[in-house]
């Protein structure tokens, strides 16, 4: 008699039941449950990191950079404010001297004031002005011109006077000691005859400095 061969369908079903039983036993184990929860937790963290935490971290990074930039800007502004306060303090300390400086070297040629002062000093020292001439008549600089655009200029005045030696010398000293700056460039003495009488005379060249805009023709000549 031949023995009956086992049914393959029955064997497969039996194996599936065994596998299911083993898996159920595994997942009932506390270690398996903890592993599953850990896997799910890690997956959730990765998901949040990709879609929620990463943008937040980028925003925080940008905010930190912005805060750092503002700190640097604040430090720079603080330095500038301190420099301005120092400049203001220095300005207050010399404010009273600025008027004297402006009188000595004005921002305009001020020809009328200069000639009046020369005439007064001549009268005070008993010398006679025979002639007074100015080589070039500079124009007053416009009020819109900044002081930084100006430079020290010199207005040349030629004076011919007569008087005794002491009076002429005192007149020259008065020019040099005047609050308004006069630069005595040359003094040339000469004997002059007036109606048969000889008198001592002097040709004096004086420069009066002021702050103004240089003549373009002079700048071209210097170059």
In the chain, what are the domain boundaries? 6-104, 111-222
Which mean pLDDT values do the consecutive 10-residue runs of the chain (223 residues) have? 52 68 58 57 64 70 85 87 82 67 74 90 94 78 64 87 93 91 91 81 91 60 46
Cα–Cα distance list, 121 to 37, 79, 168, 172, 178 (Å): 108, 51, 11, 9, 9
Q: State the pLDDT at residue 198.
A: 82
Q: State the pLDDT at residue 1.
A: 44
Sign of the alpha-carbon dihedral angle for 125, 128, 133, 138: positive
Q: State the pLDDT at residue 32.
A: 47
Q: Which helix (H) or strand (E) holds 158?
A: strand 151-162
State how far the Cα of 96 lies from the Cα of 92, in Å rounded to an integer: 8
Cα–Cα distance list, 43 to 31, 46, 54, 84, 217 (Å): 18, 5, 15, 60, 84
Q: State the pLDDT at residue 221.
A: 45
Fold for 111-222, please state it.
Answer: Alpha-Beta Plaits (3.30.70)
State how far the Cα of 211 lies from the Cα of 109, in Å rounded to an integer: 8
Question: Would you state the structure tokens that stand for residue 20, as one six-digit string?
Answer: 């299911």
């Amino acid at each position: 008699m031949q023995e009956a061969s086992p049914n393959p369908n029955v064997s497969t079903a039996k194996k599936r039941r065994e596998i299911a039983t083993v898996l159920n036993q595994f997942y009932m184990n506390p270690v398996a449950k903890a592993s599953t929860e850990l896997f799910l937790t890690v997956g959730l963290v990765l998901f949040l990191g990709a879609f929620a935490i990463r943008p937040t971290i980028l925003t925080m990074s940008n905010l930190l950079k912005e805060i750092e930039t503002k700190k640097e800007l604040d430090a720079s502004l603080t330095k500038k404010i301190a420099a301005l306060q120092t400049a203001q303090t220095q300005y207050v300390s010399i404010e009273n001297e600025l008027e004297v400086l402006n009188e000595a070297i004005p921002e305009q040629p001020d020809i009328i004031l200069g000639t009046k002062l020369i005439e007064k000093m001549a009268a005070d020292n008993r010398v006679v002005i025979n002639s007074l001439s100015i080589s070039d008549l500079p124009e007053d600089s416009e009020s819109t011109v900044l002081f930084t655009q100006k430079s020290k200029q010199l207005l040349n005045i030629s004076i011919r006077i007569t008087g005794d030696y002491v009076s002429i010398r005192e007149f020259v000293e008065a020019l040099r000691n005047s609050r308004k700056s006069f630069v005595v460039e040359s003094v040339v003495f000469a004997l002059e005859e007036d109606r048969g009488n000889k008198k001592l005379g002097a040709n004096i060249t004086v420069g009066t400095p002021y702050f103004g805009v240089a003549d373009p023709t002079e700048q071209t000549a210097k170059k």
